[in-house]
Chain A
C-alpha cells in the first residue's frame, strides 16, 4: 500500500482556517485520497475524498497538488469540536483502509 506522511500534531486558533498537510509521494494513478477524523473515544468519521480535482463539502475542502504527491485538508473556520486526530489515507481497488498515526489537531480557544 502507498504510504502517507503527516505531521504528528498541529495547533490552530478557534475560528481561523486550518490547513492539514499530507505527503503521498508514491501515490499511484488509481489511488483516491481520503480523510477521516477521530474524536476521543469515538469511531472515525469520514471527512472528504478526491482523486485529482479539488473537492468541497459541508465539512471541509480538499486541495490536491497537480502531481498528486501531496494534498491539504482545509477546515475553513475551526471550532473546538474540530479537535481530533486527522488521518490521510490512500484507497484504491481493495476495500481496506490503512490508518497511520495521523495528525492530532488542537484548537486553541
Chain B
C-alpha cells in the first residue's frame, strides 16, 4: 500500500532563517505531488504541484520554492522565513491528473515562525 511521510512534524524557526521540509511517498511510482499550506482557522491553499522530476508549478507568488529531486521526493524550501509563513504545511500525492484522481495527504508539518 502507499504511504506518505512528512518531516519534521513540528518546527519553530526565527524570522529570516532558512526552511526545508521534506515529503516522500512509498508504494507508487510517478505520482503527482502537491504542497499545501493551511493558516490558522483557514482553508488549504495550494502552493506548488509537480507531475514529474524537475517539473514544478507554482500557484502563489511567495518566498517559498519547491523541488523534486527524485520521483517520490518533494521538498519545500525558503531562504528567509517571514512571520506570515507560519502555518500547517501539507504534502499530498495523487496517481494521476484530472477529476477522477483523489489526493492523499501526509500528516503535515506545523511551522511557527517567531
Chain A interfacial positions (CB closer than 8 Å to B): 30-32, 34, 36, 41-46, 49, 51, 90-102
The one of A32, A36, A49, A95 that contacts B32, using a Cβ cutoff of 8 Å: A95
CB 8 Å contact bits of B75-114 with A (1 = contact, 0 = none) = 0000000000000001010100111101111111010000
The answer to the question of B74 belonging to the interface, with a C-beta cut-off of 8 Å to chain A, is no
> Shortest 5 CB-CB distances between A and B: which pairs?
A32-B99, A43-B105, A91-B99, A99-B43, A99-B44
Cβ contact within 8 Å between B94 and A95: yes
Main secondary structure of the interface of B (DSSP, over half): strand
A60 CB → nearest B CB, Å: 13
Cβ contact within 8 Å between B49 and A96: yes
Cβ contact within 8 Å between A30 and B99: yes
Q: How many chain B residues touch A (Cβ–Cβ < 8 Å)? A: 24
Task: For the complex, give the distance between the alpha carbons of A93 and B51 in Å.
Answer: 13
Cβ contact within 8 Å between B102 and A44: no
Q: Please, which residues of chain A bring their CB within 8 A of the CB of B26?
A: none
Q: Please, which residues of chain A bring their CB within 8 A of the CB of B102?
A: 34, 46, 49
B111 CB → nearest A CB, Å: 14
